Structure 1
């Protein structure tokens, strides 16, 4: 006997309407679109990120973990613009045979993210697909008018900073594929958690306004994304590999192996904030780090040169040869 399914509108009512309950502009998901205004003195920041099974997550990952990564990758973009979260829309393209228990776990995961980060569902769309699970979120945030952080504001002489730690997700992916043997269970767990559930720096991003000259988040790899930041700013950069902050787990996994270090600084999916600031901002950034409980580490400096060029130096000050700079979908 075939188990009856809820159907499209039944799924919306059961799994998604509760997620929109805290946002009046969603109108209970009863209309064709959401309606909401922007407070005086604020403007809207809009970002979209998509994820595909087999590319951005493993098909057998827990649905709540998938929801967390989808939401947090978008929230990280808002933080990089100095914005605070407001609402989001969601598009799901799901295989027809997908069990509704998957949707239940996914929606529960979204609910956890909403409560943690203060954001609500405003609407979206749901379609079926003969391909892999494909998900997309468009997130809306608010920033003081005219104060959104740009990528292009860096100047030669500015210092390069990054929040948190780098490389956990890339090393976690190697663990997940079985290509990196980590006997210590706590180390494995940390790397896998950071791969599946990045930590968007929502408390830091808005407070970089007035301090950072240029900013973005690290998704394609530290070296590649610093290149993007430099290209937009019309300058080059030096990156000191020995200054890049590593978690205890990542440091243990790398264990002095230059190949693993290269993977850590080029692998991507860190979702940390990468930004530039003049030397005069150092004391204020130290205070910000202490207030937020998030490490902010100086890792390099901008300099005149070919826009987008990043020279990575090892601990002895010699250029470090890298096979690749970061992730590229195409």
Structure 2
């Protein structure tokens, strides 16, 4: 199968998965064209997934299609943006029709679920590598940044921590039970917090999606904002499945494991109290911002190290 036939058969259909009037021109020309409405800012981000680094070899292609788009779209959620379109650059060791069909199916389901349209891309031969760039828009001046946390703000997260990290232990299990399947679902099918992120645009003072672990990603907010934080580890939300399967290790996974793609955000207490109940009830307060730089954990085991995943092995 040639490159253009591959694109026509497996990826061209994704160009009509979500209708929007901002994508003026999709696949077929040298460039796509996006029109940004008045009063909106363009928000875009790019993510690369490499086999053996970001997903295991021989990982199910349908799961990979969903994950590849979900992890990229999660960056839009962290900015409070609404998704518009994405581009896909795909390096393949070979044009395997069964693999392509599964990958395209997972990607198609994700694009429909997230309301985002394929705008174009490229394919080439090489080690399995997936690069996705996502575009979205947000009301002008309302994007959530990492640099806005202020003393007294509450630190919140949007869902349970550690499930996806724990799932790595069970990826090769041929017959996982119900508890393991619940954790595996978090890894195979991450859910970007798009609606919640958009509802917090202009309200939260800072935000980030949790890809490398809660502590590591919160540290990015603290460094960008020039502040510190105190966290109550007893408040960290964890699923019953994580607690039952991992025991004392559950806390470590909740604090340092990546791939949850929940949001970590900071918000002034009076703003938090004024949020509509359906929004406020999705947030769990786990700490507060303090003026002194650093990250303090209350109730953590002695000598606990505040480290998360780093692609090049550095400890922050």
Q: After TM superposition, is the score higher than 0.5?
A: yes
Pairing 1:140-179 to 2, within 5 Å after superposition: 140-176=135-171
- Match status 1:126 vs 2:116: no
TM-score under structure 2 length normalisation: 0.92
Aligned partners of 1:286 and 1:312: how far apart in 2? 30
Distance in 2 between residues matched to 1:188 and 1:64, nearest whole Å: 19
Residues 26/15 of structure 1: CA separation in 2 closer, same or farther (3 Å cut)? farther
Which among 252, 263, 268 is matched to residue 278 of structure 1?
268
Count the aligned residue pairs: 308
* Aligned 8 A contact 2:77 2:197 in 1: yes
RMSD: 1.9
Tell me the equivalent position of 1:300: 287
Equivalent residue number for residue 11 of structure 2: 16
Q: How far, CA to CA, are the matches of 2:215 and 2:92 in structure 1? A: 34
Residue 131 (structure 2) pairs with residue 136 (structure 1): yes
User: Paired residue for 2:29?
Assistant: 31
Classify 1:32/1:150 alpha carbon distance in 2 versus 1 (closer, same or farther; 3 Å).
Answer: same
1:236 and 1:310 in contact (8 A); partners too:
yes
TM-score (norm 1): 0.88
Residue pairs, 1:35-50, within 5 angstroms: 35-50=33-48
Determine which of 84, 99, 104 is the counterpart of 1:102: 99
- In the alignment, structure 2 segments of 5+ residues that lack a partner are none
Q: 2 CA distance for matches of 1:321 and 1:197?
A: 34
Provide structure 1 residue ranges, at least 5 long, that are not aligned to the other structure. Answer: 1-5
C-alpha distance in structure 1 between counterparts of 2:176 and 2:291, whole Å:
44
For residue 177 of structure 1, report the CA deviation from its aligned partner.
Answer: 6.0
Relative to structure 1, the CA distance from residue 53 to residue 249 in structure 2 (aligned partners, 3 Å threshold; closer, same or farther) is same
Q: In 1, distance between residues paired with 2:274 and 2:301? A: 31
Contact in 2 for aligned 1:207/1:288 (Cα 8 Å):
no
| Misfit runs of 4+, over 6 Å | none
2:54 corresponds in structure 1 to 56
Corresponding residue SS for 1:187: helix
Structure-2 separation of matches of 1:320 and 1:265: 15
2:242 is the alignment partner of 1:261? no
Query: How many angstroms apart in 2 are the aligned matches of 1:26 and 1:102?
Result: 31
